[in-house]
Chain A
């Protein structure tokens, strides 16, 4: 109740303890309808079609629930998994250009406990894409980047970095984002940006290899195996260190759509597993610079 009052009144109750004060400050930043409090640029999407603005009650309810959940975690950490409670929940930014099926999959995993983090913002280059619509409906703020060239106001890469930093984003997950990540963002988030690509990199990757084009190229080559790859992002398309892969067979009679569906099924599972590992701080780095995932069940096991 205390925290709800804080959000509504936009001020701190002086009788609240210092720990709760810190939490309250955090929650005011997360309170989506009150964007002016964190000085968000006006490019943060207000163009949502769903009843986002008219139904502030629902949003407050959501915020309140989240606040209560966080509070519960603080008070009752003996009841939760011990490792998780000691590990801070991570803030995730997801970047999409299309339907956002990986985004939805990860979002659901953050809600059901599989992923120890929260998606705090969605970034997209298309304000009306499926991923953006889903984000709006779930109360996740949406940033459009890069903005269209005909727009008068330009939202630069540095602005994007500032926005993400203000949301205390820990990790950036690209999930079907077709634009090249600006160097400024990569510098600001070293070893913190992941991408998923629908082929066994380094095969069928690079500029021009996206979406159905990848699967068509795989089939045309005669390759008998394909599968998703998750890799860290550097300044070129699809060339950063590989973090995880899965394999699916390519059958003799496969169409590109059938192969795409088979790979997508594995993409969802893989991105959730990797996001979970990321949020639980189970990524380690081999001497030669290859990132490895420490198994949850057996910390001596790496893959």
Chain B
């Protein structure tokens, strides 16, 4: 109740003990952003009251979870309560099936984090609609040039900082990440690509085009790759891959479905590792994932 009252009253005082989430998280966003107030209207796409109330419930839930964790950590698995839940930003351009998959994993405990904001290149894409439905704030970036308000790359960084985003997960985001974002979040931005990079990657290789190229080449294997993001398309260090066979009579759609199935599983595993701080870096700069069951096992 306290949290809800706090959120509605736009006061910075809070008697809620768990301050892992920012005080008055949602409300405090508005004055902190240095961009014009038009930005705030964009963020609260649905009616602000509805959004606030949904968000409040979420806040309350997360506060309660924190509370429980604080009091009863002897009952939970020991490693998790010592680890802070991470704040995730997901970037999408399309339907957002990986986003949904990760979001559900944050709810069911597989991923020790929360999706705190969705960034979409199109305000009406499937991912954005799902996010609004779940009370997740949506930021549209980049803005169309004919739009009245422009959100610059710096503004985006400020926005993400205000949400205390730890990691950025690109999940079908087709725009190039601005260099300011890459610099602001070093070794914190991941992308998933539907081929075994470095094959069939780079500018122009997205969606069904990838699978068509794979089939046309005669490659007998494909699969998703998750990699860290640098300043070009699909060239950052590879963090994880899975392999699927390409069959002689596959259509691009059939191959896409087989790869997508592995994408969902892989992204959840990787994001879980990310939130549990199980990523380690080899001497040559290749990122490795430490196994949960056996910390000496790296893959």
Q: Which residues of A contact B (CB under 8 A)?
A: 200-204, 219-225, 227, 231, 241-245, 247, 251-253, 286, 288, 290-292, 302-303
Stretch at the interface among B106-114, B130-138, B176-184, B215-223: B215-223
Contacts of B201-224 to chain A: CB distance below 8 A? 215-221, 223
The answer to whether the Cβ of B66 comes within 8 Å of any Cβ in the partner chain is: no
Contact of B199 among A202, A231, A286, A290 (CB under 8 A): A202
Closest A-chain residue to B198, C-beta based? A203
Contacts of A303 in B (CB 8 A): 220, 247-248
CB proximity of B284 to chain A, nearest CB, Å: 6
Given contacts A221-B198, A221-B238, A222-B238, is CB(A200)–CB(B248) below 8 Å?
Answer: no
Cross-chain contact A252 with B243 (CB below 8 angstroms): no
Contacts of B238 in A (CB 8 A): 221-224
Given contacts A220-B284, A247-B243, is CB(A202)–CB(B200) below 8 Å?
Answer: yes
The answer to whether the Cβ of B299 comes within 8 Å of any Cβ in the partner chain is: yes
Contacts of A241 in B (CB 8 A): 217-218
Contacts of B239 in A (CB 8 A): 222
Contact of B249 among A203, A223, A302 (CB under 8 A): A302
Cross-chain contact A242 with B217 (CB below 8 angstroms): yes
Cross-chain contact B241 with A224 (CB below 8 angstroms): yes
Cross-chain contact B248 with A253 (CB below 8 angstroms): no
Cross-chain contact A225 with B199 (CB below 8 angstroms): no
Contacts of B282 in A (CB 8 A): 252
Closest B-chain residue to A240, C-beta based? B218
With A252-B288, A253-B298 given, can you name 18 additional A-B contacts, CB distance below 8 Å? A200-B199, A203-B197, A204-B198, A221-B238, A222-B239, A223-B196, A223-B241, A225-B196, A225-B221, A227-B221, A241-B218, A245-B219, A251-B299, A252-B298, A290-B216, A292-B248, A302-B248, A302-B249
Cross-chain contact A201 with B219 (CB below 8 angstroms): yes
Closest B-chain residue to A242, C-beta based? B218
Interface centre among A223, A241, A302 (most CB of B within 10 A): A223
- A52 CA to B161 CA, complexed, in Å: 77
Contact of A222 among B215, B220, B221, B287 (CB under 8 A): B287
Contact count band on B: 20 to 34
Cross-chain contact A252 with B198 (CB below 8 angstroms): no
Contacts of B105-148 to chain A: CB distance below 8 A? none
The answer to whether the Cβ of B54 comes within 8 Å of any Cβ in the partner chain is: no
Contacts of B265-299 to chain A: CB distance below 8 A? 282, 284, 286-288, 298-299
The answer to whether the Cβ of B240 comes within 8 Å of any Cβ in the partner chain is: yes
Given contacts A222-B238, A253-B298, is CB(A244)–CB(B219) below 8 Å?
Answer: no
Interface of B is mostly: loop
CB proximity of A240 to chain B, nearest CB, Å: 9
Cross-chain contact B220 with A244 (CB below 8 angstroms): yes
CB proximity of A244 to chain B, nearest CB, Å: 7
CB proximity of A237 to chain B, nearest CB, Å: 15
Cross-chain contact A245 with B200 (CB below 8 angstroms): no
Given contacts A224-B238, A224-B299, is CB(A203)–CB(B286) below 8 Å?
Answer: no
- A231 CA to B219 CA, complexed, in Å: 10
CB proximity of A198 to chain B, nearest CB, Å: 15
The answer to whether the Cβ of B100 comes within 8 Å of any Cβ in the partner chain is: no
Cross-chain contact A223 with B216 (CB below 8 angstroms): no
Contacts of A224 in B (CB 8 A): 238, 240-241, 299
Cross-chain contact A225 with B243 (CB below 8 angstroms): yes
- A201 CA to B219 CA, complexed, in Å: 7
- A292 CA to B200 CA, complexed, in Å: 21
A-B contact pairs, 16 of them (CB 8 A): A200-B196, A200-B219, A220-B284, A221-B197, A222-B286, A223-B197, A225-B196, A225-B241, A242-B219, A242-B220, A245-B220, A247-B243, A251-B299, A288-B215, A290-B218, A303-B220
- A204 CA to B247 CA, complexed, in Å: 22
The answer to whether the Cβ of B237 comes within 8 Å of any Cβ in the partner chain is: yes
- A288 CA to B198 CA, complexed, in Å: 24
- A200 CA to B196 CA, complexed, in Å: 9
- A222 CA to B280 CA, complexed, in Å: 13
Closest B-chain residue to A205, C-beta based? B199
Closest A-chain residue to B280, C-beta based? A252
Contacts of A201 in B (CB 8 A): 199, 217, 219
Given contacts A200-B196, A203-B199, A252-B288, is CB(A222)–CB(B218) below 8 Å?
Answer: no
Cross-chain contact B196 with A286 (CB below 8 angstroms): no
Cross-chain contact A286 with B248 (CB below 8 angstroms): yes
Closest A-chain residue to B227, C-beta based? A222
- A202 CA to B216 CA, complexed, in Å: 12
- A240 CA to B37 CA, complexed, in Å: 57
- A222 CA to B284 CA, complexed, in Å: 10
- A63 CA to B169 CA, complexed, in Å: 67
- A225 CA to B224 CA, complexed, in Å: 11
- A288 CA to B200 CA, complexed, in Å: 18
Contacts of A204 in B (CB 8 A): 198
- A235 CA to B282 CA, complexed, in Å: 39
Cross-chain contact A252 with B221 (CB below 8 angstroms): no
